[in-house]
Amino acid sequence: MYKIIFCLFAIFSFIESSWGQDIHWSQFNDNQLFQNPGNAGHFDGDYRFIGNYRDQWRSVSVPFTTFAVSADAHHKNIGFGLQIFNDQAGDGKLSTTEVQGTLSYLLKFRETSPHIFRPGISIGMNHRQVNWDAFTFNSQYTGYIFDPNAATNENFQSSRKTNLNIGIGFIHEWKQNQRIKITSGLGLFNLNQPNQGFYNEVVKRDQRWNLFSKISIKLSEKWAIIPSLSYTQQGIYRELNFGSSARLNLGNSKINQALYFGVWNRNKDAAFVTLGYDYSNLFFGLSYDINHSKLVPASNKRGGIEISIRYIIHKFKPKQIIHRVCPDYI
């Protein structure tokens, strides 16, 4: 039974990747550059560093693992960043590595306006490769015996593919009285639909667009709730994440310290719980997926674990000293 499931996962991995479905994250609000290029430089501080790791389907087959690192900053109205991610999928070790540079620009029509607009663009290189030797084929089975040295009778043109990838997007933020903040954004990725087929025929990577919205509501000095949603569509694939986290303030006027916990759902796939801890400039997030799709008989409801780390640097800004000239008295 498990051999059949393994084969199905290998086939699924190959087909899904060939048609170009992008990776996804449960902690979508903690991977800002992947979420929208308009997020580059949009934070309180001077430099931001983020690391993400996801391990999925370890209980069923060879796990799908993804990690990403990013750094971004801003200077005046310009935000800029760099992101690198790698994804390993299935028995064939289908590997996707992407390096993206991101640029955004802050639009604020007047200093007192509660609205902020930030359009952005991302340009990067996408490299994909697969290990054909890790697969098995019908021609290698002779009766009841598997012969790994037997010919596969397959004619693979290539095991590597590198393409240019372009994405655009914008975010909008609205604040009211330091109690309510709404951040929304729309992004379009794989704008140029690069060819990523391993054979001679053209296999275009489907365009992916994402809509997200997050509302931060301060209930008291101690508590805040942060409901949010993210909708993604790529070709025939549609994904809706929605839920909310709560923030408990543990700090004081001298240091930022908070605890986060939340419950979320991804349609027809999984529910997931999140925990987060803020201390000064460092944030640590942890989530776990509880599978409720048709794969439950094989997964036993175990999906995947995800970790995120964020560190923000604030440059020291000396206080401006105003010198006043004392009048001379005679």
pLDDT tens digits for 217-247?
Answer: 999 999 999 999 999 999 999 999 999 999 9
Phi, psi of 235 (to 5 degrees): 60, -125
Half-sphere exposure of residue 254, counting CA atoms within 13 Å on the CB side? 0
Compute the Cα dihedral for 278, 275, 86, 78 and give only its sign. negative
Asked which of 17-21, 97-101, 287-291, 298-302 is least confident by mean pLDDT, the reply is 17-21
* CB neighbourhood size of 56 (10 A): 23
- The top-scoring range by mean pLDDT among 50-59, 146-155, 205-214 is 205-214
SS3 6: helix
pLDDT at residue 16, as a whole number: 39
* CB neighbourhood size of 154 (10 A): 9
Query: What kind of fold does domain 2-132+164-313 have according to CATH?
Result: Porin (2.40.160)
Cα 177-180-184 angle, rounded to 5 deg: 125
Assess contact for 218 and 224: CB atoms under 8 A.
yes
The alpha helices in the chain, defined as continuous H runs, are 2-18, 32-35, 296-299
pTM of the model: 0.82
What whole-number distance in Å separates Cα of residue 239 and Cα of residue 7? 25
pLDDT tens digits for 269-312?
Answer: 889 999 999 999 999 999 999 888 776 665 666 678 999 999 99
Give the residue extent of every domain in the chain.
2-132+164-313
What whole-number distance in Å separates Cα of residue 291 and Cα of residue 272? 8
pLDDT tens digits for 165-204?
Answer: 999 999 999 998 889 999 999 999 999 999 887 777 788 8
For residue 119, the surrounding DSSP H or E stretch is strand 115-129
Phi, psi of 15 (to 5 degrees): -65, -45
